[in-house]
Amino acid sequence: MLVLGIESSCDETAASVVLNGREVLSSVVSSQIEEHALFGGVVPEIASRKHLEAVSDVVADALKEASVDLKDIYGVAATQGPGLIGSLLVGFCFAKGFACASNLKFTGVDHLHGHLMSVFLGQEVPGFPYIALLASGGHTSLYLVKDYLNYEIIGRTRDDAAGEAYDKVSKMLGLGYPGGKIIDDLSKKGDKKKYVFPRAWLEKDSPDFSFSGLKSSVRRLIDAIPPENIENEISDIAAGFQDSVVDVLVKKSMNAMKKYGCNHFALCGGVAANSGLRSALKEKSEKFGFSLYLPSLSLCGDNGSMIACAGYYKFLNGDLGSFNDEVYARALFKQKNGF
Does residue number 184 form part of the binding site for ligand KG4 (CB under 6 A)? yes
Question: For ligand KG4, which stretch binds (CB under 6 A), given 102-110, 160-168, 212-220, 222-230?
Answer: 160-168
Q: Do you know the residue count of the chain?
A: 339
Contact partner at residue 338 from Zn ion, ligand KG4, none, CB < 5 to 8 Å by partner kind: none
Asked if 82 and 58 touch (Cβ cutoff 8 Å), the reply is no
Question: For ligand KG4, which stretch binds (CB under 6 A), given 38-46, 84-92, 94-102, 263-271?
Answer: 263-271
Sole binder of ligand KG4 in the list 160, 233, 243, 302 (CB under 6 A)? 302
Asked if 81 and 9 touch (Cβ cutoff 8 Å), the reply is yes
Strand partners, 229: none
Does residue number 167 form part of the binding site for ligand KG4 (CB under 6 A)? yes
Does residue number 295 form part of the binding site for ligand KG4 (CB under 6 A)? no
Q: What is the dihedral of CA 320, 324, 330, 335, to 10 degrees?
A: -40
Sole binder of ligand KG4 in the list 166, 197, 293, 312 (CB under 6 A)? 166
Strand partners, 133: 142, 267
3-state SS class at 14: strand
What whole-number distance in Å separates Cα of residue 75 and Cα of residue 192? 48
What whole-number distance in Å separates Cα of residue 71 and Cα of residue 221? 59
Does residue number 274 form part of the binding site for ligand KG4 (CB under 6 A)? yes
Nearer residue to Zn ion within complex by CB, 136 or 274: 136
The sign of the CA dihedral 304, 309, 313, 318 is positive
Q: Least distance (Å) from Zn ion to the CB of residue 310?
A: 12
Sole binder of Zn ion in the list 7, 12, 233, 302 (CB under 5 A)? 302
How many residues form the binding site for ligand KG4 (CB under 6 A)?
Answer: 20
Q: Least distance (Å) from Zn ion to the CB of residue 115?
A: 6
- In whole angstroms, how far apart are CA 162 and each of 97, 179, 249? 35, 11, 9
Nearer residue to ligand KG4 within complex by CB, 2 or 88: 88
Q: What is the dihedral of CA 108, 114, 117, 121, to 10 degrees?
A: 100
Asked if 294 and 281 touch (Cβ cutoff 8 Å), the reply is yes
Q: Least distance (Å) from Zn ion to the CB of residue 214?
A: 21
Contact pattern for Zn ion over residues 129 through 148, marking x by CB under 5 A: -------x------------
Judge if the upstream peptide bond of residue 227 is cis by omega within 30 degrees of 0: no
Does residue number 110 form part of the binding site for ligand KG4 (CB under 6 A)? no
Asked if 187 and 47 touch (Cβ cutoff 8 Å), the reply is no
Does residue number 270 form part of the binding site for ligand KG4 (CB under 6 A)? yes
Sole binder of ligand KG4 in the list 137, 304, 311, 321 (CB under 6 A)? 137
Asked if 332 and 110 touch (Cβ cutoff 8 Å), the reply is yes
Sole binder of ligand KG4 in the list 2, 55, 121, 271 (CB under 6 A)? 271
Site residues (vs Zn ion, CB under 5 A):
136, 302
Site residues (vs ligand KG4, CB under 6 A):
10, 136-138, 163-164, 166-167, 178-181, 184, 269-271, 273-274, 301-302
